[in-house]
Structure 1
Amino acid sequence: MSDKYSREDIVNSVPQKGFFGHPKGLFTLFFTEFWERFSYYGMRAILVYYMYYELSQGGLGLDRTVALSIMSIYGSLVYMSGIIGGWLADRVFGTSKAVFYGGILIMLGHIALAIPGSLSLFFVSMVLIVLGTGLLKPNVSSVVGEIYAENDDRRDAGFSIFYMGINLGAFIAPLIVGTVGMDINFHLGFSIAAVGMFLGLVLFLVTKKKNLGLAGTIVHNPLTPAEKSRTIKIFSVAAVVIAAVVVLGLQYGFLTFDSFIAAVGILGILIPTAYFIVMYRSKKTNEVERSRLVAYIPLFIAAVMFWSIQEQGSTILAAYADTRTDLEFAGITISPAWFQSLNPLFIITLAPVFAWLWVKLGTRQPSIPQKFSLGLLFAGLSFLVILLPAYFGGTDALVNPLWLVLSYLIVVLGELCLSPVGLSATTKLAPSAFSAQTMSLWFLSNAAAQAINAQLVKFYTVENEMMYFGIIGGASIALSIILFLAAPAIQRYMKGVR
């Protein structure tokens, strides 16, 4: 199946004009991802509140620290599951089916959240959304790449338009789902998220044949019959082992929130470490590529530090918005969920500015390690800013919401220095035999960060608020300085990549 059609055949099967001068398929993928991100970020905007609000308030009544840890583990598992989703698409059923199956699982997960029920139903929804997002998220981006010829000058602009769809969905969702979920009913909010994913699925189904042609339908590296048999055996054994561990763990009490969070935390570190070791030691990796892998390690560590701070916007800062912030401002009542719209809003606004800046600077722009150090600097400053209200006014008074807005703005400045640069650097530094897996490794930096966050959030209390933000923010700034000083050495190991 993988040899039946060439790359050119796939591109020629896609109508090349029809969406702002881009292939028609971009319309399908733009709105599929828009609705998927709408559903995901809408759910995420109210999920932590649903977990720790009391039963009388419509929540699950979990301990707040446990809720924050679960939220971090949730995010970590979502990024880890992308490895499985990418493998299934490449070896079993193709990216188009992966997107569709993923969307169905996500929708079912939101439906499970929309049903007032038990904690068990909540965990069922988590499993469905983690698996669904792992199938859909990486593979919808892969289909975008397939609708353009390799030398098509529209390619980068097409990904920019697609990226805008992601952030538009993420911006609108907390305003709608957040308002309904917080002001009316959590389950009604989750229902809107489910409807959003349903709309995305309908649009994908109705338009994909006409707009996408062969894109996403080809299994590029299908399993041989022998591999398929072996894979089924491995998955069956793994499923039995996992089921046995869960049953025994629940029966004998060693499977608890804390033990599960610790296990995911260990995996968050071990999996990327294993990736590095396998790629470095592989006979398919030459000396130049090994040198570039060595250069990639400090960048990966910096990314973990950055995402650790950035992702606390949906955990610690979300709780801060709910409990420490004065939500009466300029004559309006602010929903704490609305603050989740700030990150995508600032990205939509500032991404073109940064793109223009790098082009304007040309050869004078900072190197990749220097841009990463700037990202860490801004991340650290965003945490130092949010400790100032407690320093000036104590931890008893409610904080002006503009402090939170400023914190979110500063970390976005860091994100725009690090995130797109990290994607680009990954494609440049990856060993040729492991190009796709190195991209998975980049996303694992976020998984590792959130796995670490699941432990970090346990140390946050209102009483030690200043110490918490100060230590983490200070550590980020210190790492930023170290990385900046080490940038010339790292650059040498990159062997000509800039």
Structure 2
Amino acid sequence: MSSVPKTGDFLGHPKGLFLLFGTEMWERFGYYGMRAILVLYLVALTQDGGFGWTNADALSLYGTFTMAVYVTPLLGGWLADNVLGQRKAIIIGGFLMAAGHFIMGIPHSMVAGHEENVFYLGLALLCCGNGLFKPNISTMVGDLYADGDKRRDGAFTIFYMGINLGGALGPLVAGYIASVAGWQAGFITAGVGMIISVILQMTLSQKYLGDIGRVPAAKLSQAMSASNTKEPLSKEEKDRIKVIFTMSVFSIIFWMGFEQAGGLMNIFANDYTNRMLMGFEVPASWFQSLNSIFIIVFAPIVAMIWLKLDKREPNSPVKFAIALIFLALGFLTMMMALITEGGSGDSMQISMMWLVLFYLFHTLGELCLSPIGLSMVSKLAPLRLASMLMGIWFLCTAVANKIAGVVGSFIGEGEAAVENAMGIFIGLGATALLSAAIMYFLSDKLVSWMHGAEGTHEPATQEHVLTEELEISAAKQ
């Protein structure tokens, strides 16, 4: 690990942590601000500055885009490890993402006849930039601390709070500007956030990070890897890999439902929700901030619950089953909204509180999933296969995002949309409940395949458990 410059601490942590906090917060501000208005922009009428696409076409593209967000980091991580180094990858990725935001912000009148081609170029740059940025910045957080430094858990807690702060502010600011100044202004606002992120990294990284992230990781580990010899997998390692594959496949069910947030639920908030509050019409994009806000509020509470349960704390597969139950409760909430609010077709206008409950249940499910995912792979994967198995986890998340777009696209148009939405909510809720039951009955077998890894705990402090609850945020990078 490269030495950290002696620039002093802030709140008990190296100042470089807060540089990375700001870099990631502004990048997430841009990404989630753009994502919150993307589908709404695609379905908006051309006279309102949009493309006038059908719901099905918009949601299908949204699914493809969010799938690419999880696939491109596999290549971006390799380039950073072998060619660029993390710092250079972050800066190049940041510039590409900023360019993507600004290109999407070009008014249609300036590119008449080529609007969609310009839009696709912007999305492509966002995907490529994300691939370079996403997998690299969080690893630099760990490099700020020596092995065994007890501050590391707290550092990731602070860093993940930055992710969610950006995820909360982006939709609020970019969504509001898009609602009053036009879609392109919203995309430009997202680009400004990305530029701030890059400027922070370019101007302050040498002072506060020193040489961290400058040299590709492959060069640093070359001497060690030369002495490594490949050995066949043991039975214990094979069993643990079975757990990773099983949980990864089941994760598709969770993320398939959860990722309706930016697509189907965005359209539902825009078209079928009464958003008037004391004479002010709440922008539909603002609901995209609820997940990040709820994580900030409820992560400490969930952490306290796990601490209180102590030895009765559910194992990881059971927590996964609980997450799927919360997912189902979210869709049950929307089913109740459609049944009790009255109206049909274009006249349907449900209360905003139903959407708030929907996002609350799904966030609680997300927090129950936090001991799984990245933490599970890091605990169970054989060291020589860790990167590949982490890639499989992200690949399953990518597949889930694409399926989410396809499922959401069945909402259709006009008067049939509400009836179709009810069918989607029933289908996703039932699938989540069935998957929860299967996961619960498989839990004992999965724990036995972990061969003791599930029972290996860090000291049970609130800070440590809070870090686990926020670990789910790493998947948002």
* Common fold by TM > 0.5: yes
> 1:382-437, CA deviations, whole angstroms, 9 ceiling, x for partnerless residues?
11111112222243431001000000000000000003432211111111102233
Deviations 1:252-304 (A, max 9, x none): xxxxxxxxxxxxxxxxxxxxxxxxxxxxxx95533211100111222112211
Give CA deviations for 1:98-135 in whole Å, capped at 9, x if unaligned: 11110000000011011023000110011100010111
Give the structure 1 partner of residue 117 of structure 2.
120
Aligned residue number for residue 319 of structure 1: 267
CA distance in 1, matches of 2:324, 2:248: 12
Letter in 1 for 2:36: A
Q: Deviations over 1:433-478 (max 9, x none)?
A: 0223322322223211012123212322322222210111111011
Give the distance between the partners of 1:368 and 1:477, measured in 2 at CA. 17
Amino acid at match of 2:68: L
Shift of 1:222: 4.3
AA in 2 matched with 1:458? S
- The structure 2 residue matched to 1:86, chosen from 77, 82, 85, is 77
Query: Aligned to 1:306, which of 237, 246, 254?
Result: 254
Partner of residue 194, structure 1: 191
Q: 1:134 aligns with which of 123, 131, 135?
A: 131
Separation in 2, partners of 1:59, 1:183: 14
Alignment counterpart, residue 387 of structure 1, candidates 317, 327, 335: 335
Aligned to 2:96: 105
Of 453, 465, 474, the residue aligned with 2:404 is: 453
The superposition leaves residues 294-344 of structure 1 with CA deviations (integer Å, 9 ceiling, x where unpaired) of 112221122111111111100000000000100113443211011011000
Gaps of 5+ in 1: 1-6, 224-281
What is the match of residue 458 of structure 2? none
User: Map of 1:471-490 to 2, 5 A cutoff?
Assistant: 471-490=427-446
Distance 1:180 1:469, change over 3 A: same
Cα distance, 1:72 vs structure 2: 1.2
Is 1:428 aligned to 2:379, yes or no? yes
Cα distance in 1, alignment partners of residues 69 and 254 from structure 2:
18
Contact residue 296 and residue 429 of structure 1 kept, 8 A:
yes
Match of 1:347 in 2: 295
Rate the CA distance shift 1:474–1:394 in 2: closer, same or farther, 3 A. farther
Are 1:219 and 2:220 matched, yes or no? no
Q: Distance in 1 between matches of 2:294 and 2:75?
A: 31
Deviations 1:199-231 (A, max 9, x none): 1111111110010011101212149xxxxxxxx
Letter in 2 for 1:172: L
Corresponding residue SS for 2:214: coil
Unaligned runs of 5+ in 2: 109-114, 221-229, 412-416, 455-477
Give the Cα separation in 2 of the matches to 1:315 and 1:306: 15
Query: Counterpart in 1 of 2:359?
Result: 408
* Alignment check: 8 A CA contact 2:264 2:409 kept: no
Return closer, same or farther for 1:445/1:14 CA change in 2, 3 Å cut-off: farther
**Structure 2 contact 175–286 (Cα < 8 Å) conserved:** yes
Q: RMSD in angstroms over aligned alpha carbons?
A: 1.7
Q: Distance in 2 between matches of 1:182 and 1:325?
A: 16
- How many Å separate the matches in 2 of 1:470 and 1:384? 8
The equivalent of 1:265 in structure 2 is none
- 2:375 is paired with a residue whose SS is helix
Deviation at 1:353, TM superposition (A): 1.2
Match of 2:156 in 1: 159
Determine the C-alpha separation between the residues in 2 that align with 1:156 and 1:16.
21
Tell me, yes or no, if structure 1 residue 70 matches structure 2 residue 61.
Answer: yes
Q: Distance in 2 between matches of 1:88 and 1:220?
A: 10
Measured after TM superposition, the shift of residue 357 of structure 1 is 2.0
- Residue by residue over 1:133-173, the C-alpha shift from the partner in whole angstroms, topping out at 9 and shown as x without a partner, is 11101100111111111211010110110000000001011
What CA deviation, in whole Å up to 9, does each residue of 1:33-81 have, x standing for no partner? 0010000001111111111111100101222210011111111101100
TM superposition score normalised by structure 1: 0.84
2:343 and 2:349 in contact (8 A); partners too: no
- 2:307 is aligned to 359
Q: How many angstroms does 1:16 deviate by?
A: 7.1
For 1:109, the aligned partner's letter is G
The alignment's TM-score, normalised by the length of structure 2, stands at 0.88
Determine the C-alpha separation between the residues in 2 that align with 1:97 and 1:479: 42
Report if aligned partners of 1:303, 1:418 keep a CA contact under 8 Å in 2.
Answer: no
C-alpha contact 1:148 1:155 (8 A) present in aligned 2: yes
Asked whether 1:28 is paired with 2:19, we answer yes
1:143 corresponds in structure 2 to 140
Q: Which amino acid aligns with 2:447?
A: Q
**Segment drifting more, 13-22 vs 337-346:** 13-22
2:448 maps to 1:497: no
> Is contact 1:177-1:189 (8 Å) kept?
yes
Q: Which residue of 1 aligns with 2:457?
A: none
2:252 counterpart of 1:296: no
Amino acid at match of 1:188: A
Task: Return the letter of the residue paired with 1:412.
Answer: T
**Structure 2 counterpart of 1:341, one-letter code:** S
Q: Which residue of 1 aligns with 2:465?
A: none
Cα contact 1:39–1:196 (8 A) shared by 2: yes
For 2:155 and 2:139, locate their aligned partners in 1 and report how far apart those are by CA, in whole Å: 12
Runs of 4+ more than 6 Å apart: none
Deviation string for 1:340-379 (max 9, x for gaps)? 1100000000111122222232221000100001111101
Identity, % of aligned positions = 39
- Does the Cα contact within 8 Å between 1:285 and 1:433 map onto a contact in 2? no
Deviates more, 1:132-141 or 1:386-395: 386-395
User: Against the structure 1 CA distance between its residues 113 and 187, is the aligned structure 2 distance closer, same or farther, given a 3 Å change threshold?
Assistant: same
The structure-2 alpha-carbon separation of the partners of 1:394 and 1:466, relative to structure 1 and needing over 3 Å to count, comes to farther
Could you say which residue in structure 2 is the equivalent of 1:470?
426
Q: How many residues align?
A: 432
Q: 1:183 to 1:285 in 2, by over 3 A?
A: farther
Give the aligned residue type for 2:239: S
Deviates further, 451-460 or 471-480: 451-460
Q: 1:16 to 1:301 in 2, by over 3 A?
A: farther
Residue 336 of structure 1 corresponds to 284
